[in-house]
Amino acid sequence: MADKNIFGVILAGGTGSRMGNVEKPKQFLLLEKRPIIIHTIEKFAINNAFNKIIVLSPKQWLNHTSDMIEKYLPGATNIHVIEGGKTRNETIMNAIDFIDNHDGVDEDTIIVTHDSVRPFVTHRIIQENIAKAKEYGACDTVIAATDTIVRSDDNKVITEIPERDKMYQGQTPQTFKAQSLQKVYNDLTKEEREILTDACKILVLKGESVHLVEGEVSNIKITYPYDIKVAEALLRGEI
């Protein structure tokens, strides 16, 4: 049974510039005959935890997004398409404003924010995000770094090589108590809002704890043309 305080937030505001010369944002490219974003939304739609699923799209793609959902996920009445913001955090705030206007936001309201181009998120990851956010207020999905991480301050020479066993690669979902995140965001200066483009980073730099949820290697983000081939192989069960 859906929890009235839990909302899925699918972030589909990207233009897919790293995908190369394509005619549409990467979330709308086909993956085994269905758009990538549909595979992603479906993972949330079949999970009965959510009151509503909010899909945030670029303004010029709002109708296209709605039409696709109607075509591929007919009868899904709890999916709502709204306009995203100029940045990731503005987009998340738009989602919180939508929730506040339609359902009200209180201290127990939880948003599970997820990249539209991560179609292999699992039920286990989603459920653990919800549980951690309920207990701690914020969490991020990560996997342990398998490669050595190198930091360079000038993009020319190595500044530092951190201990690999303390390094993680961030994925999504990132899950928050909406009211707390909104308050921290509203307290940012204009300059901070331009620099802090990741919601978890905002909380960490403001002294708030963000707990870890173990992700999956298969929870890939489709960014480059090569990733499409990997995703198709995952869908076919070849990996």
- Residue 170, C-beta contacts closer than 8 angstroms, at least 6 positions apart: 140, 141, 142, 200
Going by the DSSP 8-state scheme, the letter that residue 76 receives in this structure is -
Instruction: Report residue 24's pLDDT band, with 50, 70 and 90 as the boundaries.
Output: confident
Can you list the positions of beta strands (E) in the chain? Answer: 3-11, 30-31, 34-35, 50-57, 79-83, 110-115, 138-144, 168-177, 211-214
131-152 pLDDT tens trace:
999 999 999 999 999 999 999 9
Crossing angle of helices 88-102 and 178-186, in 10° steps, is: 130
Query: Is the distance from CB of 175 to CB of 121 less than 8 angstroms?
Result: no
Quote the CA–CA distance of 97 and 91 in Å, as a whole number.
10
Whether residue 27 contacts residue 14, with contact meaning beta carbons closer than 8 Å, is answered with yes
pTM for the model: 0.94
Higher pLDDT: 216 or 197? It is: 216
Residue 76 has pLDDT above 60, yes or no: yes
State the Cα–Cα distance between residues 144 and 170, nearest whole angstrom. 9
- Mean of per-residue pLDDT scores for the chain: 93
Is the pLDDT at 204 greater than 60, yes or no? yes
Residue ranges and CATH numbers for the domains of the chain are 3-235 (3.90.550.10)
Q: 153-170: per-residue pLDDT in tens?
A: 999 999 999 999 999 999
Instruction: With a cut of 90, say whether residue 22 has pLDDT above it.
Output: no
